[in-house]
Amino acid sequence: MTQGRKSALLAALCSMIVTTTSLASSHREAPNITRLPTVDSTDFYAFNSYESGRGSYVTLIANYIPLQDAYGGPNYFAMDPNAVYSIHVDNDGDAVEDLTYQFRFSQALPGGDGVKLTIGPDGATRDIAVPLKNVGGVSASDMSAANFSETYTLTLVTGDRRSGTAMKIVNADDASSQFSKPLDFIGTKTFGSLSGYEDYAKSFIYPINVPGCSGIGKVFVGQRKDPFVVNLGKTFDLVNYVPVEGDSAPGAGDAGGFPGGITQSATNDDLRTKNVTTLALEIPKSCLTGGGNGTIGAWTTASLPQARILNPNAKFSKPEVAGGALTQVSRLGSPLVNELVIGLKDKDTFSSAEPKDDGQFADYVTHPSLPELLNILFKDAVNNTLGTSFDTLAPTNFPRADLVAAFLTGFKGLNQQASVTPSEMLRLNTGVAATPAAEQSAFGVVGDDLAGFPNGRRPGDDVVDIALRVVMGRLCYPIPINGEDTDLGLCAPEDANVGNVPFTDGAPVNASMMDNSFPYLAAPLPGSK
């Protein structure tokens, strides 16, 4: 395609509103999980730590409970005490977990019945339990006014997640095996200020001794600002925006300076007012890589007992009885797979499947439907505008070797494991040095930053824009690697007529929107200012 025709094609696309599928990460991504928000994984991250002095560590972050309104009192957002939340690591490439970090939660009221106030006149008083989760200010130095607490245990399972060897992970300071989760950010009257809440929340970052590991890791569980950025409402509304970079793109004219010339409109990020609950680990690289080549595959799951019987006389301590085998109900590795790749009929199956069984979903990757949907919707408009006769705007290389590499195998020489088993995992080469936050490209590898997505995923990687471009054939064109355009050899430019078109949802994200130290995600929004 000539440069002039490419420019005309860009103009043509900028003139259209198109219809596509949801681009939310994993917020309510499958029919069944919408009924189980406490075990709905929203995003998963695995990256070489870029906090100063932590270059020998890997950070793993699993976010749960989507679309949290900060003001969601009086009960806010607790984890499910019947669930097992897990982060899995495959370090030899067989698509089977070698290491699993399991989180199990408990809830308690102080004294068993919670804080009570003495109500009534002398001689006729009653001690009455209060209805709120706190009865006064809470701080890092004084938590006595809290009327609710969550604790959790952390277990390392080597081998199979269900039948492998389980070992407790303990606090490196006092050898205790129970960790605490901070209250959600109820508001600034409760915690004094944003900095007051952060001082409080960071007191729940614990150093940990991991069995079989010589280094000291870290763990944090607590509420954070949702780091995912997406033009969610307009995307569901038949993509009610122009999905291409340029002067007419969403956010044009606003201050910002985000990658590719796009700037951020405050109204474009529909998750800008939402929080999530974060499970974060920082583990020495040497404890994750095993006998492999230094590249790991990772994903998060949540499981529930098969049976749940409601208590007809529910109590705080026993609202139900749960039993039976643990059953996986949520799964997330690379972002956007269940949304952009897996068909609606199989989304719940994907949520319950293990990577080793992903052959059943291969057709969704080798013959994806999303590019063809986009082709159906705006091929005629492009041809009419340009006076061309493109047979298709969708990539024509079948099977889609470029998507197989992106989603199922990793890229040779970058994030492919020693043994290659096609499966959906987030693959991270632990040998690639972390890029400091100020130098990161939000476009990761295609932005000439080998430490970013799809080599793992950092909170500042713009995975929506990357995924849109990749499914429409970006990898059929040379990409910059160490300053030089490199042909990946997976497909050719003639296989992807719009492979160089800068598709975007107009809601950019970059590392400056995050913190630069563990757990990296920004402080949650307060329920009241």
* Contact partners, residue 14, CB within 8 Å, separation at least 6: 242, 244, 246, 248, 249
CA atoms within 13 A on the CB side of 454: 32
Dist. CA 182–CA 332, nearest whole Å: 25
Dist. CA 301–CA 282, nearest whole Å: 18
Which residue is it, tokens 């490209």? Answer: 441
Tokens standing for residue 234: 């307009």
Dist. CA 156–CA 372, nearest whole Å: 43
Give me the pLDDT at residue 59, please. Answer: 98
CA dihedral sign of residues 50, 52, 57, 61? negative
Whether the predicted model's global pTM rises above the 0.85 cut: yes
Give me the pLDDT at residue 502, please. Answer: 86
Dist. CA 45–CA 451, nearest whole Å: 13
Give me the pLDDT at residue 250, please. Answer: 38
Give me the pLDDT at residue 240, please. Answer: 55
Helix (H), strand (E), coil (C) string for 475-500: HHCCEEECCEEECCCCCCHHHCCCCC
From residue 416, alpha-carbon distances to 210, 354, 476 in Å are: 26, 19, 19
* Contact partners, residue 202, CB within 8 Å, separation at least 6: 140
- Residue 383: count other Cβ atoms within 10 Å of its Cβ: 15
Residue 509 and residue 51 in contact, taking contact as beta carbons nearer than 8 Å: no
Three-class SS state of 84: strand
pLDDT digit string, tens, across residues 233-284: 665 554 555 555 543 333 333 323 223 333 334 457 778 899 999 999 999 9
Give me the pLDDT at residue 261, please. Answer: 35
Dist. CA 475–CA 220, nearest whole Å: 37
Identify the DSSP state of 466. Answer: H
Return phi, psi of residue 11, to 5°: -65, -40
User: What are the pLDDT tens digits along the chain (529 aa)?
Assistant: 555 555 544 444 444 433 333 334 557 778 788 899 999 999 999 999 999 999 999 999 999 999 999 999 999 999 999 999 999 999 999 999 999 999 999 999 999 999 999 999 999 999 999 999 999 999 999 999 999 999 999 999 999 999 999 999 999 999 999 999 999 999 999 999 999 999 999 999 999 999 999 999 999 999 999 998 876 666 555 455 555 554 333 333 332 322 333 333 445 777 889 999 999 999 999 999 998 999 999 999 999 999 999 999 999 999 999 999 999 999 999 998 888 789 999 999 999 999 999 999 999 999 999 888 878 877 787 677 777 788 998 999 999 999 999 999 999 999 999 999 999 999 999 999 999 999 999 999 999 999 999 999 999 999 988 988 999 999 999 999 888 999 999 999 999 998 988 887 777 899 999 999 999 999 999 999 9
